Structure 1
Amino acid sequence: MKKVFFGLLAGVSLFASAQTAPTDSIPTNPQSQQNAAQRLLSSNLSQQGLTVGGYAEAHLNRATGENAKLDVHRLVMLFGYKFNERTQFVTEIEFEHVKEVYVEQAFLQYTIADNVNLRAGLMLVPMGIVNEYHEPTTFNGVERPSMDKSIVPSTWRELGLGVSGKWDAASLRYQAYMFNGFKSENDGKFLGGKDGFRSGRQKGAESMMNNINVSGKVDYYGLPGLRLGLSGYFGRTQSENDVEDLEGADVGIAMVGLDARYAYQRFTARGQFIHASISDAKEYNDFYEYTNGDGEIVRPDLGSALQGWYLEAAYNLLPQDKKQQLHAFARYEDYNTHASVAEGTVKNLAYDRDEWTFGLTYKVAPGAAFKADYQLKNDAVAGSQTIKQLNLGFGVWF
């Protein structure tokens, strides 16, 4: 079956090669950055038909006291189709770790008016930077920032409906959606712990909804070289029909994010701050407490607040007139999935973490980069050792 599938992909790619988006490098100026969906939507503005693309990354990770791990982390096929001047479809099909297959995006966009687009389907939740701009040549570091895995569970996507567009007179880009939300109990997995909401993602796979969640983001690009973002996500988790009216079956989530990207000549910088408040965390942890096969009481350890931030600076070591770029960068992250806890939950200091990442991103051609970095990872547990990790890899996007 896989051979047939890959054969079909190859055939479609050959057929559509004349309509494929050009392989341009990611602009340094954050005001003109596009992600995969935006490139697909904009690449066939003058023609109808199919547009194809893709991105991929492979990694080597070696942490203190462990063997090196090598992984084809992800291989993604991108498809866009323009039905007419108003109607387009975008999808991402992702293979992770060689053996796992996901649909990362699948939405239909209809242009209602200039700069007002109606969207419906499986879409990225607009929170922070990396969740929307996660293609491997759009960020420094072999791995995505850690807080974008634990606080913002990238890649975070759900089924929904909403609008997006730009208001150039005010230098604003906007998005506003209604989504289904995290699942309170997801095939025996619960919210909480070091990964926060990550286990609750439904990813569009026979998703359940009994509470509507709303999400939005506004980006401002009115100052040279600067892009500012304000994000919000509000609602409740989803629970099964037979328990949805019981106290503790779901929790309320209010998440806000601030992010900034800046570029001046060969210098670039970015940063973000995310805070998520959780209501009914105590009731949730009580409700989903259970006794395992060994007679031990197991209790979710969802906190009542999650919070994280990072700052990153990078400098291109090669002259600006060179097509290749060599970015040296440093990033500091501080994030905590137990920023605060409700009564009955003991704050776990291992969830209070900080990281330094130092590295190089060598963009050897438009859309292709080799990466290397070294990380120092700590937590707030007294006497805990710093984890030192070497990461090597490459990323492509076309």
Structure 2
Amino acid sequence: MNIIDELTWRGAINQMTDEAGLRKLTEEKKISLYCGVDPTGDSMHIGHLIPFMMLKRFAAAGHHPVVLIGGGTGAIGDPSGRKTERQLQTMEKVQANAAKLRAQFAHLFGEEDRITFVNNADWLSKIDVLTFLRDYGKLFSVNVMLAKDVVASRLDAGISFTEFTYQILQSMDFEHLFSTYHVQLQIGGADQWGNITAGTDTIRKIHGSTAEAYGLTIPLMLKADGTKFGKTAGGAVWLDPEKTSPFEFYQFWLNQDDADVVKYLKYFTFLGQEEINALAEAVQKEPEKRAAQRRLAEEVTVFVHSKEALAEAQRITEALFHGSIEELSERELLQAFGNMPTVEVSATEKDVVNWLVDAGIYTSKRQAREDVAHGAVTINGVKVKQAEEIVYPHKNSHGKFVVVRKGKKKYTLAKIKQ
């Protein structure tokens, strides 16, 4: 199957500058293509995954991906999708973020001989203002730039000259990669269409109207209910395990709605049509088994983290489902309960009723005593049977935590002051 046909089946294409030309090009030879990300933060989130998984799909088809980290453009700020000016970061912060993003990409793509990493600071920082205005500024019509959605949407609120020139800088990137690395295709989100087409136009103005340069964008990712994909009550779902633990990451995918899960299997996994179609059928016939959600969660967690991280996330999930958390490690306890209600306590080794009240988990000893008597309280995964039982830290927490459960699902993590 041609790579364009596969992407179309997966619903992963929003617009192409020349579908017939790109299809012909990818059938005739192996091409180089790129996607860029600005280091405005020190981690990507799952919204970034889609275009870079596109690069991975092209790589699987024998094409060569180039990842551009915007050490130069990140110092300026892309106005796309924003209503106000971006707060500029220090160059030190931009460089530190760029290093972290490169490490994430290296993890996702594996062997570095299968991918080229570039940083546009390497060429943009060497261009003086007169060269910029004479060699590049002359190629751009202000009228055309004003008509681009990314700029037009900001005119009422106002846009600085700095952000206004962003599309010129991105066009310079495409032209530089076209000339230096023979890159013929740029991929980006739907909001990058104006910047991408500015790049293909620039290449043709410099290299002639027959220059083969193409652009492809992915659709804006929305859930079935029309809301934005990738957000949770706690904020964005990050690829950095220190920001979003592998357990939380796994749970995000596991809890996707039946109406969305097949679309996400096509977007976010490398499973083939036959298996995805079988999972789609399972969603219709046996939705209660959530086979598609489990497969989705497994595939994306392994891709972003590792098989070991998946096993850990599944172990925590199983322990929470059955309430059997007594064997979890300190690391697993933090993943499972780090974002749940937390209290600080000065000590343990006190009878459970007094300890629960002193910790603020209960407001009255009477209610605590009643719940204990009815078997509604567990400490560190073990049901409390008598009000006189003594509370100790979880055996694997090195004296740091006590995990309390009230009823079936209401957990509290008590952190012991050291």
Q: What is the TM-score normalised by the length of structure 1?
A: 0.22
Write 1 or 2 for the structure with the bigger share of strand: 1
Higher-Rg member (1/2): 2
